Amino acid sequence: MEGNQGNKPAKKAAKKAAKKPVAAKPTIGTAQTIVFIRAPSPFNILPDKYFHPVLQNILDFLPIGLKERNQYIEKHFPFHSPFAGIPQFIIPKQLYSEIWSKEKSAAIRRSVAKIMRFRFLFRRFLHKWRFSRIKLANTDDLVTSEPPKKPVYIVDWSRRQAHVFEAQTLMKDITARLHHHDGLFEEPQPPRNPFTNTPFTLNQTISVWNSISEAGIAVSSAFTLFRKSRFSYVTFLDENSLYLKLNAHRKTFQEESSYDYKERMLDFIHLCYTAETLEYNAAAFTHILYSEPKNHVIQKWKRLCEKYHEADIIYFNHPEKAKDIKEDVLDDTYEILSSQNYIVSLYNRIIQ
């Protein structure tokens, strides 16, 4: 019995030893490796380790906009020390050099210039690659019916097609649109694609401006004013109202066959004769104005009429000055008021 009792503990020990060891559960305090992945920088397109780590960390967080980026650099990394005049016991020299140094400021500016140079090259490459995939909708100019010698392309990226024009043809069309008028009233129209008659987008307008400027042809004053208005049609109208009114007036007087020109002329001649209480032969003047617009007497009336009505436009903000000029013009009509006899005799010969 004693022998059997002595063997029992040995069996239990053997069973316990036969069990497989259980893996220990990790405790809450176990250290874990955390991997940080740097998000792509909106501004710095150059690969990692191209710049010093400290410098790259600054460049990665620079704003993408030119104005915002310059303001950020001038605020945080100016050329001149932002701590000038502050005693060193307030800002220790070591901390002072870590916050700002002239070398760091210059290095940031050099790095920004290098990034901008690469961004420009990549943008140029991307533009050429995208343009190579564009389908050309026409090969001959709309007006000359020949391949353009100084081509200007209007690209529609959404449709992946482009129209090509001679630079001079497109310049004339843009100018005519901006100078468009309905008789004596200005009605400018925004620049458009002459093939599709659709207004330019902002990107197309800027591209056309650059292409025409590079073509070496004269740029019209209207397109130059449109450029100064930042290619905004509404701003162009607001800032150049006087110019557009005067252009509409002068263009109308160049179109001697237009109804508005003839009506303005007949009204002015009638005004001059009425002011002097003289008899006015409307039939004779009307017939000669329509049949012989280049008659020397009609041309004299034209110059006076144009100057008379220009005064109200040019001196819109100086009504007294406009009034004096208009009175001088009326005085100048005294010499040709007597020419009505010549106009009547000419009229009688024509109708007989």
| Structure confidence at residue 151 (pLDDT) | 94
Last residue within a domain, chosen from 185, 211, 239: 239
- If asked whether residues 318 and 230 sit together in one domain, one would say no
Within 8 A by CB and 6+ apart from 92, the residues are none
Q: Does any domain span residue 297?
A: yes
Distance CA 81, CA 93 (A): 13
**Digitized pLDDT (tens) for each residue of the chain, 352 residues in all:** 444 444 555 554 444 555 555 555 555 555 566 655 566 777 887 887 788 887 888 888 888 888 888 888 877 777 666 554 444 444 455 545 555 577 778 888 888 888 889 888 888 888 788 777 888 899 999 999 999 999 999 988 888 899 999 999 999 999 999 999 999 999 999 999 999 999 999 999 999 999 999 999 999 999 999 999 999 999 999 999 999 999 999 999 999 999 999 999 999 999 999 999 999 999 999 999 999 999 999 999 999 999 999 999 999 999 999 999 999 999 999 889 999 999 999 999 888 7
Q: Are residues 271 and 341 in the same domain?
A: yes
pTM value > 0.75: no
Regarding whether 159 and 105 lie in a shared domain, the answer is: no
Same domain, 214 and 291: no
Residues in CB range of 58: below 8 A, 6 or more apart: 77, 108
- Burial class of residue 68 (count of CB atoms within 10 Å of its CB; 0-12, 13-18, 19+): exposed
- State the residue range of the domain holding 329: 255-351
Whether 17 is in a domain gets the answer no
CA distance 120 to 102: 27
Residue at which a domain ends, from 129, 159, 193: 129
Residues in the chain, total: 352
Q: Are residues 159 and 186 in the same domain?
A: yes
Taking Cα atoms as reference points, which of 168, 162, 150 lies closest to residue 219?
168
Split into its structural domains, the chain has a count of 3
264 and 232 co-located in one domain:
no
In this structure, the answer to whether residues 192 and 269 fall within a common structural domain is no
Residues 109 and 158 in one domain: no
Q: What residues contact 205, with CB distance under 8 A and at least 6 apart?
A: 191, 231
For residues 164 and 211, state if they share a domain.
Answer: yes
Domain end marker among 98, 129, 160: 129
- The answer on 125 and 58 residing in a single domain is yes
Q: Does residue 36 fall inside a structural domain?
A: no
